[in-house]
A and B are shown apart, each in its own frame.
Chain A
Amino acid sequence: GAVVSQHPSWVICKSGTSVKIECRSLDFQATTMFWYRQFPKQSLMLMATSNEGSKATYEQGVEKDKFLINHASLTLSTLTVTSAHPEDSSFYICSARVGGGRVETQYFGPGTRLLVL
Chain B
Amino acid sequence: AQSVAQPEDQVNVAEGNPLTVKCTYSVSGNPYLFWYVQYPNRGLQFLLKYITGDNLVKGSYGFEAEFNKSQTSFHLKKPSALVSDSALYFCAVRDSSSGNTPLVFGKGTRLSVIA
Contacts and interface: CB of A to CB of B under 8 A. Distances in A.
A97 B94 CA distance: 13
B107 A109 contact: no
Given A93-B44, A110-B43, A111-B41, A43 B90 contact: yes
Nearest to B4: A43
B52 A102 contact: yes
Interface in A67-117: 91, 93, 95, 97, 100-111, 113
Nearest to B39: A110
Contact of A108 (B36, B52, B106): B36
B106 A107 contact: no
Given A105-B49, A108-B36, A43 B41 contact: no
A44 B102 contact: no
Interface in B58-112: 90, 94, 96, 100, 102-103, 105-108
Nearest to A110: B43
Interface residues of B, number: 22
B32 A104 contact: yes
Contact of A43 (B46, B49, B102, B105): B105
Given A6-B43, A107-B46, A111-B42, A42 B102 contact: no
B56 interface: no
Contacts, number: 52
A interface SS class:
strand
Interface of A: 1, 4, 6, 32, 34, 42-44, 46, 49, 91, 93, 95, 97, 100-111, 113
| Those 9 A-B pairs whose CB atoms lie nearest each other, nearest first | A108-B44, A108-B43, A43-B107, A110-B43, A111-B43, A102-B51, A109-B43, A43-B105, A44-B105
28 contacts: A32-B100, A34-B102, A42-B107, A43-B90, A43-B105, A43-B106, A43-B108, A44-B90, A44-B105, A46-B102, A93-B43, A93-B44, A95-B44, A97-B100, A100-B100, A101-B96, A102-B32, A102-B51, A102-B52, A102-B96, A104-B32, A105-B46, A108-B43, A108-B44, A108-B46, A109-B43, A111-B42, A111-B43
Interface of B: 32, 34, 36, 41-46, 49, 51-52, 90, 94, 96, 100, 102-103, 105-108
